């Protein structure tokens, strides 16, 4: 696998080796020692999968007291995936990294604990899968506005389909008043 460090400390774009022929393909989506040597050493405690349709944007989410590292990929379809550095002490605080993840290249994004995460669906349908380093606690969840102008994410849609909660999320600066 090829591991690319992004401009945000700890955020990795992972390009697994895909072995394919006329019958289909095979790839390892996780192998503990290989990922540990790439810098992903936290234990995973929960796997999640969601299905969404084109134009849906989920995020930007994080957990306050139980921050989750997430190893994300797409099992079906195509998404624009985003990590935002919300660590106040970080030199890249407020910056974002985005990548297209799909079921053809099988790239993965490692979003370390302490970052906000979100994605929007580019294909008709997408199945989004991710491994988490901590359990999900609904009462601990926080969010940042998807269109916060100070972050300036280059989303591919101007008017995505949002949940009520995501539409009312605060700006990043309001989280640290």
Segment 56-84 mean pLDDT: 97
- Of residues 146, 136, 148, 86, the one with CA closest to residue 114: 86
The string of pLDDT tens digits covering residues 37-55 is 999 999 999 999 999 999 9
Catalytic residue, chosen from 106, 107, 117, 130, is 130
Catalytic residue, chosen from 35, 61, 106, 117, is 61
Residue 177's pLDDT band (cuts 50, 70, 90)? low
- Of residues 78, 87, 64, 65, the one with CA closest to residue 10: 87
pLDDT above 80: residue 25: yes
Q: What pLDDT sits at residue 176?
A: 74
The string of pLDDT tens digits covering residues 113-139 is 999 999 999 999 999 999 999 999 999
Segment 158-163 mean pLDDT: 95
Q: Is 130 a catalytic residue?
A: yes
- pTM of this structure: 0.94
- Of residues 110, 108, 115, 109, the one with CA closest to residue 90: 115
Q: What pLDDT sits at residue 83?
A: 98
Distance, CA of 5 to CA of 160 (rounded, Å): 29
Q: How many residues appear in the chain?
A: 177
pLDDT above 80: residue 19: yes
Exposed / middle / buried, residue 142 (Cβ in 10 Å: 0-12, 13-18, 19+): middle
Q: Is 66 a catalytic residue?
A: no
Q: What pLDDT sits at residue 152?
A: 98
Domains along the sequence of the chain with CATH: 2-174 (2.60.120.10)
Q: State the CB neighbour count (10 A cutoff) for residue 90.
A: 15
Asked if 57 contacts 118 with a C-beta cutoff of 8 angstroms, the reply is yes
């Amino acid at each position: 696998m090829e591991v690319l460090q992004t401009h945000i400390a700890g955020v990795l774009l992972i390009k697994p080796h895909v072995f394919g022929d006329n019958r289909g393909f095979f790839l390892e989506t996780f192998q503990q020692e290989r990922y540990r040597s790439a810098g992903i050493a936290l234990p995973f405690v929960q796997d999640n999968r969601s299905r969404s349709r084109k134009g849906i944007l989920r995020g930007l989410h994080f957990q306050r007291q139980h921050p989750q590292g997430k190893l994300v990929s797409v099992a079906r379809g195509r998404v624009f995936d985003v990590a935002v550095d919300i660590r106040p002490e970080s030199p890249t605080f407020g910056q974002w990294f985005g990548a297209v993840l799909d079921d053809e290249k099988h790239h993965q994004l490692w979003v370390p604990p302490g970052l906000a995460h979100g994605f929007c669906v580019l294909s008709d349908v997408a199945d989004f899968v991710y491994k988490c380093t901590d359990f999900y606690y609904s009462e601990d969840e926080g969010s940042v506005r998807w269109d916060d102008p100070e972050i300036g994410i280059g989303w591919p849609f101007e008017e995505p389909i949002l949940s009520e909660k995501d539409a009312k999320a605060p700006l990043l600066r309001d989280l640290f008043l």
